[in-house]
């Protein structure tokens, strides 16, 4: 087990497993030289993150094929445990009709209403994960 | 009430109120031109976010007085409700002894072990928040 400053470093497969179990992640990107972060509902398609969005920063990032960071975490305040996974990839709009049809079957939805019809995919190119070593604290 | 694509835009005071009620947020910063996001335990001191960190990207950002984004959110999958707050500010290390002593009383702790003794402060310069309008979905 790799350990870094009280955190267990997770294997890639474990990171994807954790990603597959959650439904809300956070997209971080750079907008006008400033970092911004927005939560999204997502699905994992193999090793690709898929989410819906409407006009705005996330859509612009996808249209421009920007590198985005995608973060998912879970924590339990009662026992001070938790983990986080950080994925990086180039975002792009899904516009191929066949791919759109296939990904539609994943039922990627956005909880917020409004015009969130565009489907964005982020094939993960780098992934890392950390888990708090609670046993070390005792 | 300001509304944007199915999301209620929150007033600044409401954003700070939400920040004050949570204990885990996510720091987003740019590292070698790539966006990265890490969860941290934090406390709010007035309108300043305070967290502990050890050697690494967050400490380097503070030492370099980088602009960081700080995100906090909460969601309820059962009813598809949720909110998120995004704050921006210039991170810096707390090194004034009097300020260190005062902020120590906030009991800012990091759940992960390891060497996380450095205290970082981020006076919030920009803040925005969004809440999902669940009633619109029905």
Question: For A17-28, what is the mean pLDDT?
Answer: 95
Backbone angles phi, psi at A117, to 5 degrees: -100, -20
Cβ–Cβ pairs < 8 A, chains A and B: 127
CB nearest B114 (choices: A5, A28, A30): A5
- State residue B8's pLDDT score: 92
**pLDDT per residue over A26-41, tens digit each?**
999 988 778 899 999 9
Average pLDDT, chain B: 90
Question: Considering CB atoms only, which of A35, A84, A137 is closest to B35?
Answer: A35
Q: Which residues of chain B from 24 to 63 reach within 8 Å of chain A, CB to CB? A: 24, 26, 28-30, 34-39, 54-56
Q: Is the pLDDT of residue A61 over 50?
A: yes
Q: Which contiguous run of DSSP H or E holds residue A121?
A: strand A118-132
Q: What value does the mean pLDDT take over residues B69-81?
A: 90
Interface contact A112, partner B, CB < 8 A: yes
Residue whose tokens read 């090793």: A47
Pairing of strands B2-4, B7-9: antiparallel
Please give the ipTM for the structure prediction. Answer: 0.87
CA distance B75 to chain A (A): 9
Q: Return the pLDDT at B57.
A: 85
Identity of the residue in B39, B68, B71 whose CB atom sits nearest the CB atom of A84: B39
SS3 B108: coil
User: Measured in Å, how far apart are chain A's first and last C-alpha atoms?
Assistant: 19
Please give the pLDDT value at position B14: 97
Q: Rounded to whole angstroms, how far apart are CA atoms A31 and A59?
A: 12
pLDDT exceeds cutoff 90 at B46? yes
Q: Check the CA dihedral A59-A118-A50-B23 and report its sign.
A: positive
Q: What is the pLDDT of residue A137?
A: 44
pLDDT in tens, B5-19: 788 999 999 999 999
Alpha-carbon span B128 to B85, nearest angstrom: 6
Strands (E), chain B: 2-4, 7-9, 24-31, 34-45, 48-53, 67-76, 81-90, 92-93, 118-132
Q: Is the pLDDT of residue A136 over 50?
A: no
Contact A28 B35 (CB under 8 A): yes
Smallest Cβ–Cβ distance between A88 and the set B29, B34, B39 belongs to: B34
Mean pLDDT of B85-105: 94
For A13, residues 6+ apart whose C-beta sits below 8 A from its C-beta are: none
Instruction: Give the C-alpha separation, A110 to A102, whole Å.
Output: 18
Pull the structure tokens for residue A83. 């983990």
Taking 60 as the threshold, does the pLDDT of residue B136 lie above it?
Answer: no
Q: What is the pTM of this model?
A: 0.90
Round to whole Å and give the CA distance between B102 and B105.
6
Return the percentage of chain A with pLDDT > 90, whole number: 59
- Rounded distance between C-alpha atoms, residue A13 and residue A69, angstroms: 18
Sign of CA dihedral B130, B20, A26, B33: positive
pLDDT in tens, A98-123: 999 999 888 888 888 777 789 999 99
C-alpha span between B133 and B83 (Å, rounded): 9
Contact B37 A86 (CB under 8 A): yes
Report the percentage of chain B scoring pLDDT > 70: 97
Is A21 touching B (CB cutoff 8 A)? no
């Amino acid at each position: 087990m790799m350990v870094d400053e009280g955190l267990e470093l997770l294997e890639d497969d474990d990171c994807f497993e954790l990603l597959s179990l959650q439904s809300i992640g956070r997209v971080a990107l750079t907008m006008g030289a400033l970092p911004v972060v927005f939560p999204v509902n997502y699905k994992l398609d193999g090793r690709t993150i898929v989410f819906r969005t409407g006009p705005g920063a996330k859509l612009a990032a996808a249209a421009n094929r920007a590198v985005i960071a995608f973060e998912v975490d879970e924590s339990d305040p009662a026992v001070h445990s938790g983990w986080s996974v950080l994925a990086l990839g180039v975002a792009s709009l899904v516009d191929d009709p066949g791919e759109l049809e296939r990904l539609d079957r994943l039922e990627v939805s956005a909880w917020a209403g409004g015009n969130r019809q565009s489907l964005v995919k982020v094939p993960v190119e780098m992934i890392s994960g950390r888990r708090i070593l609670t046993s070390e604290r005792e």
